Amino acid sequence: MNSADRPGAFESRRGLPADLEFSELVREQLRQLGEDPDREGLLRTPERVEKSLKWLTRGYELSVESVIGDAIFDEDHHNMVIVKDIEMYSLCEHHMLPFFGKVHVAYIPNGKIVGLSKLPRVVEVFARRLQVQERMTEQIAAALMEVLRPQGVGVVIEAAHLCMMMRGVEKQNSKTITSAMKGVFLEDLRTREEFLRLSMINGVLG
């Protein structure tokens, strides 16, 4: 991972000390908003915000290789594998407001399969960062292609963005859908259509 991907990798600007404590930055934000950071309800807010943001952006400290580990197995299986409706929570990098929804991931093995639980973990690597949905969709697909070397990968993300729902245009029922197709999912129309159809329908489990 490039060190510039990690929080704290860039120099402080606008005259703020580079070693200023995170909690002090939050206290200053509260003051700028017209609040009193010393009132009872806000005394521990800077500490809570720091812990919360570090948790929500912990993906900077993760890698696809580490979350998959040794859970790649030789298997003569050449049909589509889909894990759908993976819950996803991320932060929009433009307003630092949440966007959330579901991720559908499919791949066609080329002699190797991955433990099913590892696909949601790969999603977490990229979701738990400051993100835009378009880039995250591409990153998940590209990472799986690199690690698994399958015949192809397909990723679809459906998400609601609070930056559109609680500010700006304030459209409560809008949903953003993005996709990334690699290998046979990009090259073969029938494969792509099968994936999209299976992703968008409710299965026997609801």
C-beta of residue 134 within 8 angstroms of C-beta of residue 178:
yes
- Nearest alpha-carbon partner for 7 in 61, 45, 88: 61
Give the active site residue among 21, 24, 87, 94. 94
Which neighbouring-strand residues pair with 152?
108, 183
C-beta of residue 101 within 8 angstroms of C-beta of residue 175:
yes
Active site includes 75? no
Give the active site residue among 92, 124, 151, 158. 92
Cα 129 → chain centroid: 6
Give the active site residue among 21, 93, 134, 146. 93
Distances (CA, A) of 91 to 124, 152, 167: 12, 28, 15
Active site includes 94? yes
Active site includes 61? no
190 by Cβ neighbours in 10 Å (0-12 / 13-18 / 19+) ranks as exposed
Active site includes 163? yes
Give the active site residue among 50, 61, 95, 194. 95
Give the active site residue among 124, 131, 133, 151. 133
C-beta of residue 148 within 8 angstroms of C-beta of residue 112:
yes
C-beta of residue 84 within 8 angstroms of C-beta of residue 197:
no
Active site includes 92? yes
Give the active site residue among 29, 77, 163, 194. 163
Active site includes 78? no
DSSP helix/strand/coil, 91? strand
Active site includes 104? no
Q: Does an H or E element contain 102, and which?
A: strand 98-108
Write out the catalytic residue numbers. 92-95, 133, 161, 163
